[in-house]
Structures are given as structure tokens and as C-alpha cells.
Amino acid sequence: MTTIFDPIKLGDLELPNRIIMAPLTRCRADEGRVPNALMAEYYVQRASAGLILSEATSVTPMGVGYPDTPGIWADDQVRGWTNITKAVHAAGGRIALQLWHVGRISHPMYLNGETPVAPSAIAAKGHVSLVRPKVDFPVPRALETAEIADIVEAYRTGAENAKAAGFDGVEIHGANGYLLDQFLQSSTNKRTDQYGGSVENRARLLLEVTDAAIEVWGAGRVGVHLSPRADLHDMGDENLAETFGYVARELGKRGIAYICAREHEAADSLGPQLKQAFGGAYIVNESFTKDSANAWLAAGKADAVAFGVPFIANPDLPARLKADAPLNEAHPESFYSKGPVGYIDYPAL
């Protein structure tokens, strides 16, 4: 019976186990959103993961929405990431870069006074993360059709820079209510051009971005992150099964390495039908334990499992799970703070 400790091939990536480190925003980059030595130590500590999916990394200055998250558009950012990939590889690990644009989930304070961009001028309910006193999300500016090619090119450049920095692949962040998800779902996309209306049009940008990454990397080193539950950042779609089923089929035609989906056991879970529609490796992520992860693998519902918070608190998570050792308790108050505390000081076995 397949378990999380068995090796797996994801596209062109050979992994020693199926325990994936989920992308985790930690807000530790230096000024200019430059990755640093502290981040390198953090990732090296977690190099026993089958694959590290990096924290979400912005492909353009207009795609940021949080303090001190890293970028991949500038030379000094590429140099910073190069130091990290070299260190992870020296420790025997594998790491892919998650490419990100937040779209409307931002604020002019992060954008040099500019208004955030989105498919349509619809504000997200809620407030800007990590800002106190609370500040509501602003009404974004709808992208002009002519501007969308620039978004695709920003992702292409991000993919090229990730390759230059020595990553093993890239993951397109199409989840959690950020820009590509905003285009995909009908509640946030009211466009009347070729990027709005039908599911084929709403999925167009995500697929164009994926195709750009494939041109840089080859399909076997490109993954896509989706959130078919549409439960973050005020999202919604008139037919989630149709929308995400179409995306899964189209990604399957392209032969990408994997889909990673925020998914858990629920009566309305789309996971099994998306996995079937995709036909490739399907990684699930959210609140899994060793036992539930192995149960999903045994049932054929997933091919690998991504762990988030457990990897924050347990740098040696695969060894702990293998030994049935107790897990360290996570400290959420330091998830997004500065410096090493709550970042690189969780003990290994």
C-alpha cells in the first residue's frame, strides 16, 4: 500500500517521499523584498521534504499585498534566491518557486500609491492583512485588455528568473482569491472581453500564464495551485465543479507536473473529480495528519500530501512522522513576525 514515505515522480521531479512542504508566507524578506540568509537557514532545515514549495513570491511590484514577502522581478532578488536554492540543494533538498500576483488583495500602501488591479472593479470584503488599525480593501482598478499581456509576461519573467536562481521548477499560484483566481471565478470577474464571461474566457489568463511557464521550464517542472472550495478572500463561482473541472482538464492536456489543491474531507469536495479530470499527480493540502494522509493515498484520492503549519513547527517533519514522534506545537503569534524567533528555532529530534 502506498504511503507518504514512498518515492514519487511528479513530472520531471523525482521525490524521495510524498511529504510536500506547502507554500507558507512568513514575511521575513529584506528591504526591497530580497530573500536573505535567515530564509536560507529556514528552508535548509526543512530540506527533507519530498519537495519544498516556496512561500508565495511576487512577479511584479504591482503584485504585492503583504509586508516583507519576497519578489522575483529584480536582480538582487534573484541573487538572494540563488543563495537559498544552492543551500537547499547542498542539504539534499528540492525546491520549487511559487509565482504570485495578489490582484485586488492589496492596498496603495504596498503599491507606491497605485490602486490594486483586478479583473473587475469589485472590492473584496475584509481588511488588509497584518495592518492595524484595520484598513478595508479598496476598490481595485479593472485591468484594460491591453494590459493583460503584461501580466503574462511578468509571470514569464518570473519563471525565467526562477530558472536563473536554480530552482527545480515553478508553481503557479492560482488559488486563495489572488489575481488568477479572481479572473477564474464568476463572482470577481464581470468582464465582457475575451477574459470574461464563459468559463473558457475566465480561465484564459491562468492557462496563458501556465503556458508561459511551460515555455520556460517544460511542462514536467510546472505545477499549479488551486483552491476549489473558494473560501478565502471573498470568492465565489456560479458553478465550482464546472469551472475547476474545465481547468483540471486543460491542465491535464498540457501534461504539467501536478495540481496542488487546498482540499479536505467534505461532502462537497471536488477533489476526486478534479483528480480524475486532470489525470496527473494530485497533491492535497489542509489539516492532514499522518493517518489521514495515508488514508487518502490508499483510497486513490491523492498522490502526495502538502503540510503547512506542521512544517513551520517541525523542520524535520518527515522523520517525526516516520518515527511517530510527538510534533512541536506551532506559535501563530510569530508566523509573520520579524527575525529568527518562531522561524528557525523550532527543535528537530
Question: What positions carry a catalytic annotation?
Answer: 178
Q: How many angstroms separate the CA atoms of 62 and 56, rounded?
A: 14
CA dist list (Å): 105 to 170, 259, 282, 290, 332: 22, 23, 27, 33, 21
Burial class of 273 by CB neighbour count within 10 A (0 to 12, 13 to 18, 19+): middle
CA dist list (Å): 128 to 31, 112, 116, 135: 20, 16, 12, 6
Q: Which helix (H) or strand (E) holds 225?
A: strand 222-226
CA dist list (Å): 35 to 43, 94, 185: 11, 17, 32
Closest CA to 214 of 250, 180, 244: 250
Closest CA to 58 of 224, 217, 178: 178
Q: How many angstroms separate the CA atoms of 85 and 162, rounded?
A: 10
Query: Which triple of cell numbers denotes residue 191?
Result: 468582464
Query: Rounded to the nearest 5°, which phi and psi values hold at 160?
Result: -65, -45
- What does the radius of gyration of the chain's CA atoms come to, in whole angstroms? 19
Q: Look at the alpha carbons of 331, 333, 335, 337 in this order and tell me if their dihedral is positive or negative.
A: negative
SS3 label, residue 34: strand
Q: How many angstroms separate the CA atoms of 299 and 293, rounded?
A: 10
